[in-house]
Amino acid sequence: MEDKGLYYMVMIEQDEDGVFIAKVPDIPGCYTQGKNVEQAVERVKEAIQVCLEAEELEDILPLKFVGIQQVEVKYEQSPSGKRKGDV
């Protein structure tokens, strides 16, 4: 039986501590981290394999990638420094 390649979009962000976080939007709960981008990518491939083994494949097939946008949202801070809506 021939293995088929599945291509998933992976979003990689860097947190305030410099750690790279890799998330797979098509698979809820599928994410990992690494000290650098290369390590995060290798680890997310392993995380995807684990997720695929744990779920029914048809439930987590990749979606068609259309694009990605970074948007800016402005918010007001109250005099106490909390954002409106914070408790």
Residue 86 has pLDDT above 60, yes or no: no
50/47 Cα distance (integer angstroms): 5
Q: What is the DSSP letter of 4?
A: P
Give the pTM: 0.69
Structural domains present in the chain: 11-60 (3.30.160.250)
Residue 9 has pLDDT above 70, yes or no: yes
Find the length of the chain.
Answer: 87
The partner residues of 32 in beta bridges, in order of sequence, read: 22
43-80 pLDDT tens trace = 999 999 999 888 766 677 787 888 888 888 998 877 76
Mean pLDDT of the chain: 85
